[in-house]
Amino acid sequence: MSLKLAVGMVPTTRHGFNYMREMHGSADGRKMIAELNQPFKPALIVLDGVDAFVDGGPGKGTLAKGNAFLASRIAWLSTQWG
């Protein structure tokens, strides 16, 4: 999950090209997300699960209360929850 945080930096569309559709529709989507994170070495990763989609998403679906926060100084540890 911590790796997916960088996806928010990708423009939805730019100069007529839909970057989000390309990334989410690609068989290499996971590799693309990993590449987005290569320049970053965060000192702390904080993920919130106060509200979470339990189906559907990311824009709509069934919303549930997660009432959770996760914090880690180790990026791979944060990904174990995602």
pLDDT digits 0-9 by tens, 34-75: 888 888 888 888 888 888 888 987 778 899 998 988 888 876
pLDDT at 65: 93
Per DSSP (E only), the strands in the chain are 13-14, 17-18, 45-48, 51-56, 61-65, 69-72
pLDDT tens per residue, range 11-40: 888 899 988 888 888 899 888 888 888 888
Higher pLDDT among residues 78 and 69, named by residue: 69
* CB count in 10 Å sphere of residue 56: 10
pLDDT at 9: 81
The overall pTM is greater than 0.85? no
